[in-house]
Amino acid sequence: MSTNTANINSSLANYDRRKELEEFDNTKLGVKGLVDSGITQIPRIFHHPLDTLFHLSRGTQQVDSDHDLIPVIDLSGWQPKIVKQIRDAAAKLGFFQVINHGVSVPMLDHLIDVIKSFHELPPEEKIPHYRRDTTTCCSGGVGFYSNFDLFQSDAASWRDTLEVRLDHFDTKSLPDVCRKEVIEWDEEAKQLGLRLMRLLSEGLGLSKNRLEEMSCIRRRLMVGQYYPHCPEPDKTVGITAHTDLETLTILLQDEKGGLQVNFQGEWVDVKPVHGALVISIGDTLQMISNGEYKSGEHRVFANDQREPRVSVAVFFDPAISEDVYGPLPELVSSEKPALYQQFKFSDVLEKGLDTGLEGEGNYTINYFRL
């Protein structure tokens, strides 16, 4: 055995992953704390398997005409055209962008700024918001953490998160630096979510209120993601490949991008459009629509730029997690039988939290297929 191989094997034998996870979590400073400490090499808990990193390589073949695949839809246009554009995009890959959506662009720009400001607060101001339990509305429904699945996933990802349970939070628990903006954003996102669900409902050939009446977007969860500079971006990820559990997601990304969507085995950049919001279909809506709409597989690169990358997402899901959902009867026939079993969103959430973001292909929705 060579000396080099012996050293590697010795390192493997001495590696205590659980201890390193606990040490990182106990700092309550997230990955930004690691960056601030001046590290030049990322801790081993952030190292992803080589096969994942190979598929995440920036050298992966790209599909041409990304904007054609992920359309930018003008919501001020002709209604029948909008319905068709949204239906086609939701059915094809589950992602599209919208402009002229009714939300002030300066407000969106400012929202990115204040979420960034929260993550860059001094430790003594940010640490009180830190929590590990992401399944309860502790701390008034507001919390800061790094990797919701830190202890479940095979490898941690290079990001920190501010989480706000928008339908169930104490405004006083929101940090001053972003309180006003988050409250305003919630109102705007709620109205846009309702509008989108009506358009999606019409796209299925249903009445515009059919999906809305099912209360499948009444609960809202906001995450303000912060991706600081990563000194070794070729060893980790921002978010590994996954599909969202929820019904619908509205995402605001900054000009740095980093988001990609899988289309027929090729990864397509969701190129930032100033003032646009990215819309994605989640597992719950894919099951309700009996597969007419697709929950898009997506991922995020680790940030190799010096400046941090910021995004803000609102996830919409059923108000009562114990209500039973399934493929709509109007969308099931002898020619197209039900593809999914009846389910409670609580079961979807429990399965998702149990498995975490497991990586490409092994997704929660597969457990509910018939």
Asked, for residue 94, whether it belongs to a domain, the answer is yes
Beta bridge partner(s), residue 224: 162, 312
317-330: burial string, b at 16+ Cβ within 10 Å, e else: bbeeeeeebbbbee
To the nearest 10°, report the CA torsion of 334, 340, 344, 350: 180
- Between CA 218 and CA 144 the distance in angstroms is 23
Domain assignment present for residue 355? The answer is yes
Does the residue 153 lie in any domain? yes
Per-residue pLDDT at 350: 83
Residue 56 confidence (pLDDT): 54
Query: Closest Cα to residue 243, out of 155, 342, 158, 352?
Result: 352
Torsion sign across C-alpha atoms 75, 80, 85, 90: positive
Residue 321: phi and psi, rounded to 5, are -70, -15
Which structural domain, as residue segments, surrounds residue 73? 18-368
**CATH code, domain carrying 318:** 2.60.120.330
- The answer to whether residue 11 sits within a structural domain is no
> Which residue do the tokens 């695949």 mark?
69
The secondary structure of residue 61, as a DSSP letter, is P
Q: Give the model's pLDDT for residue 168.
A: 83
Q: Does residue 8 lie within any of the structural domains?
A: no
Task: Give the total number of structural domains in the chain.
Answer: 1
CA distances from 325 to 71, 204, 212, 318, 347 (A): 30, 17, 13, 9, 11
Whether 203 is in a domain gets the answer yes
CB 163 within 8 A of CB 134: yes
H-helix segments, the chain: 3-14, 17-27, 30-36, 50-55, 66-69, 79-92, 105-119, 123-126, 138-141, 179-203, 210-213, 283-288, 345-355
Residue 31 φ/ψ, nearest 5 degrees: -70, -25
| CB-CB contact of 63 with 306 (8 Å) | no
Q: Is residue 10 part of a domain?
A: no
- pLDDT at site 132: 86
DSSP state string for 145-172: ES-TTTTTSSS--S-EEEEEETTS--GG
Round to the nearest angstrom and report the end-to-end CA distance of the chain: 51
Tell me whether residue 3 is in a domain.
no
Q: Residue for token digits 């994942």?
A: 52
Identify whether the C-beta of residue 249 lies closer than 8 Å to the C-beta of residue 280. yes
Q: Single out the residue of 303, 14, 297, 17 nearest to residue 154, CA to CA.
A: 17
CA–CA dist 64, 54 (Å, integer): 21
HEC assignment per residue over 317-347: ECCCCCCEECCCHHHCCCCCCCCECCEEHHH
Residue 5 burial (C-beta neighbours within 10 Å; 0-12, 13-18, 19+): exposed
Q: CA-CA distance, 160 to 1, in Å (whole number)? A: 41
CA–CA separation, 229 and 305 (whole Å): 6
CA distance 72 to 104: 17
Listed as ranges, residues in the chain with pLDDT below 50 are 1-12, 57-64, 137-138, 359
Say if CB 60 and CB 263 are below 8 A apart. Answer: no
